[in-house]
Amino acid sequence: MLMPPFELHHPKSVDEAVALAAQLMEAGEGFDWVAGGTDVLPNYKWRINTKPHVISLAGIPEANSISSTSIGCTVTLDALIQSDESHPLLVEAASKIASSLIRKSATVGGNLCLDTRCFWYNQSEDWRRSIDWCHKADCGTGADCRVIPNQNTLCVATYQGDLAPNFMALEASVVLVGPAGERTMPLTEFFELDGMKKNVLTPGEFLLRVELPEAASARVGAYQKLRVRESWDFPEAGVAASWVPGDIDSLRVASTALESIPKLHDAEVSAHLKANDRTVDVKALAQAVQKSVKPVNNTALPPAYRRKMVRVLTKRALTALGDLR
């Protein structure tokens, strides 16, 4: 399959990258960021929303640093797994992503900014032409959504990143840089409920690094991933949970691969703790988490099944945390 032509840029610093983006924006030229390329480039080969310019972040040393509290966007999943500084929950989650070969290229930033996925969308150009395009890649036709027809406002493509719920469970925040400068926000605020918009990144802005609070190292966590095969597959549902052992109020549960964004289930957890006098009834909490998600039919397994499995995954993740009291 032929890669469509694009111009590849290699900035050597954050400033240079941001300046380059600003310059392209000024010229009215479209562009994408690329780190490992394991998500962007396959989509390019399928000619999905391709741009004439691609800015590589690979040459920016600052983006490639890793410590226990800060992980640069171009740190590969493999490096994350190998590093002694990585939180065990992140190691567990990263080890379940794709295959060992892909993890050598795929990056932390790329995984967080993963394009949402949908079997009406992740298809070649010929294929998408045969369905007369879709809302997310409409090729200027204003095509309807193929998952839920007759709603042309929101894209319901599924976010299938594995790291996000785990970072959420560890209270991570993200640092974004762009022409307007640098800003930091909790990861939970990074995503936007629209499969097309995906996140809050503004034009010219990119995710530079993820930061973890010092306290994260005290947390223990577990990640449960549902997939057909133990390798390659994106999650069909994923639930991460963590807590500081002994501190029930620190419990965090987050899920992925069920909707267009990953979700921190803080409302369900706090309501549950309140109702249960600050103890956890694993079964009931799992049920509550299941009830709060609404998957749609656009991945390999049927949505009704995926939703049921959220309960099982949550139960297993919580059980792995030990005695929740």
Partner 1 sequence: MGGYKQQPGASKGEVRRDGKRVAGKQAFPPPGSGGSRPTMAPRDLAFIPETVGGQEPKPAGDHIHDRDRTGTTVGKPMALVDSNAKVTGQAWYGDDVRLPGELIGKILRSPHHYARIKSIDTSRVEALPGVVAVATGKDAPHRFGVLPVTKDEHAMAVEKVRHVGDLVACVAAVDEATAIEALSLFDIEWDVLEPVFDPKLGLEDVDEPIHWRGKYHLSRTNVQKRVFQEFGDRSLVNTPAASSHGSWTMEGVHHGFTEPHAVVAHWDPNGRLQLYTPQQVPHYTHRALSTVLDVPMHQINVVRTFVGGGFGGKSDPFPHEMCAALLAREAGKPVRITFDREEVYWINRGRHPSHINVKMTADEAGRISGFDIDALIDGGGFASFGHVTSYYNGVLATAPYELGSFHYTGARVWTNKPASGAMRGHGAVNTRCAVEVGLDEMAEQLAVDPIDLRLANLLPPHSRTISGFRITSNGMREALEKVREGSDWDNKFRQLPLGKGIGIGCGFFISGSGLPIHWDPKNFPHATVHIQVDMDGGVTVHTGAADIGQGSTTAVAQVVAEVLALPVEMIHVRSHESDTSPVDLGSYSSRVTFMNANAAIRAAIGIRDQLLKAAWEMLGYHPNVLVLNDRRIYYKHDPSIGVSYLQALHKAQEDTGALIARGAYRSPPMGGVHKGAAAGLAPAYSFSAYVAEVDVDVETGRVSCTNVWAAHDCGKALNPLAVKGQIIGSCHMGLGQVISEKMVYGRTGHLQNANLLEYKIPSVHEMPHVEPIIVESSDPEGPFGAKEAGEGPLLPILPAVVNAVYDAVGVRLRDLPLTPDVVFKGIEKAMKKDKIDDPEDLPCPRLTHGPLQPTLVERANLHRERDRLRQRSEDTSAYVNGVLFGFDPNVPLEDQVDGWRDADEPLPEQLAELGFAGRAWLKKEQRHMGGDA
Does 294 engage in binding with partner 1 (CB under 8 A)? no
Positive or negative CA dihedral for 269, 273, 276, 282?
positive
Q: Within 174-233, which residues bind partner 1 (CB under 8 A)? A: 226, 228-233
Classify each residue of 7-26 as buried b or exposed e, where b means 16 or more C-beta atoms within 10 Å of its C-beta: eebebeebeebbebbeebee
Angle at 169 between CA 111 and CA 269, to 5 degrees: 135
Q: Which residues are CB-contacts of 205 (< 8 A; sequence separation ≥ 6)?
A: 21, 176, 177, 178, 179, 180
Q: Does 131 bind partner 1 (CB under 8 A)?
A: yes
36 close to 199: Cβ distance less than 8 angstroms: no
As given in the structure block, the two tokens for residue 213 are 């609070």
Interface with partner 1 (CB under 8 A), residue from 13, 67, 124, 276: 124
Q: Find the shortest distance in angstroms from Cβ 47 to partner 1.
A: 9
Nearer to partner 1, 272 or 311 (CB): 311
Which C-beta is closer to partner 1: that of 65 or that of 130?
130
- Determine which helix (DSSP H) or strand (DSSP E) holds 24, and give its type and residue range: helix 14-26
CB of 265 to partner 1, least distance (A): 20
Closest distance to partner 1 from the beta carbon of 207 (Å) = 24
Decide the pairing of beta strands 173-178 and 247-256. Answer: unpaired
CA distance 235 to 97: 8
Site for partner 1, residues 227 to 286, rule: CB under 8 A: 228-234
**Which window, 72-80, 86-94, 157-165, 299-307, contacts partner 1 (CB under 8 A)?**
299-307
**Nearest approach, Cβ of residue 298 and partner 1 (Å):** 9
In whole angstroms, how close is the CB of 149 to partner 1 at the nearest point? 10
| Positions in the binding site for partner 1 (CB under 8 A) | 1-2, 5, 99, 119, 122-124, 126-127, 129-131, 146, 226, 228-234, 300-302, 305, 308-309, 312
